[in-house]
Structure 1
Amino acid sequence: MPPRLLKLETAPDLVDQVYRSLHDAISAGLLAPGERIVQEELAQRFAVSRQPVLQALRLLKQDGLLEDAPGRGLQVAALDAASLEQVYQVRGALDALAARLAAERGAALDTKLIERGRKAAAGRSVAAMIDADHAFHRAIYAAAGNPLIERSAQLHWSHARRAMGATLQRSTLRETVWDEHEAIAAAIAAGDAERAEQLMRAHCRHAADHLVRRLADVPLASGERR
């Protein structure tokens, strides 16, 4: 296991700490699709016993971020274009609902969200681009006034984040995505629920089509990093 994971401080809930650290590493692409996960090495790296590592790995497998490796053990799950398309079908429905509800409430999103996004898109940090995108969508979830939307969307975020991390560095999507975001925010602020919903559906469909094409064009091999 490469020395990219920091040791964890002793705390009551080590399972959650191990889970979060591995979850973030997989989502950000620090642990690549197909990379084998060795429980004993992780325990040593985190300076914890094997038990919290074992429980964290079980949770990550349930999330679909880990899968059975050939022979025995676990490996980081592959990035699958068909599965990603399904993720975005669900995300598109949730985000469209959130945009409609936010518009019905006449919510005004913080303009700094757009400024932050454009700045990130003009830079080279994929992590900053992803974080800015996540912050914008979370702001709409909050503005919708229905906490179940964000909770449901978060179930699928890690898979979308992995795909974005794998494709954004070579993608042209970042050049237009914040124009779409700004139009959505304007429709929400204007109270135009129909337009806000339509724009969000189109936005999610556009993002899904783009990411799926990029994954198909540039498949990730085991151990490959971007």
Structure 2
Amino acid sequence: MGVAVMTPPVRVLVVDDDALVRAGLTMMLDGAPGLAVVGEADDGDKVPAATDAHHPDVVLMDLRMPRVDGITATRRLRARPRPPEIIVLTTFDTDENILHALRAGASGFLLKDTPPARIAEAIRQVAAGEPILSPRITRRLMDRVSVQAGAYARATAVLAGLSPRERDVVVAIARGRSNAEIGAELDMTLATVKTHVSHVLTKLGLDNRTQIALLAHDAGLV
């Protein structure tokens, strides 16, 4: 009989300027299977030190904080070596700042009224390399944001360097498909899908699948 290998819990850092929100999230997530809240921060300026101290796998990041907002904190964190994944947690589902946060490198976003079980599952999903793309909210945000002058041309030029198969994967990602769903649609093995995704990220100089989806949207592929 083999020896069971215990999978370490996903380490979570909670960043929010509201002490009650932090306490509620910590209580909820510490009771969820496979998760452990390892630290808290009450403003974006404290995120680097908290990350160094606690080594989280996933950061739950509020958007609106007094000194350093979540977008700036996300951008700074993603610029560091081997950064954790970041989920923006906000009450503003129509705020354009959410889209800016995704472009800054966040792996996705959730609303603060999301059911606890869904937040816990989202953290596990992001930690496993599957960023959160809520179809309803992401579609609304993308539809509301005006494409800036030249964005289409820039996105098209960047994507021109991809192979036809890589472009197929990009479109599938932009449609919110998981790796398994992409494999089924494009008749690829899961390993092949992961290889294509990795190549796309490297070629495009992007951090995650969310940014791939945004680029595909700018290029009018979805």
TM-score (norm 2): 0.27
Q: TM-score, normalized by length of structure 1?
A: 0.27
More helix by share: 1
Q: Which has the larger radius of gyration?
A: 1
Structure with greater proportional strand content? 2
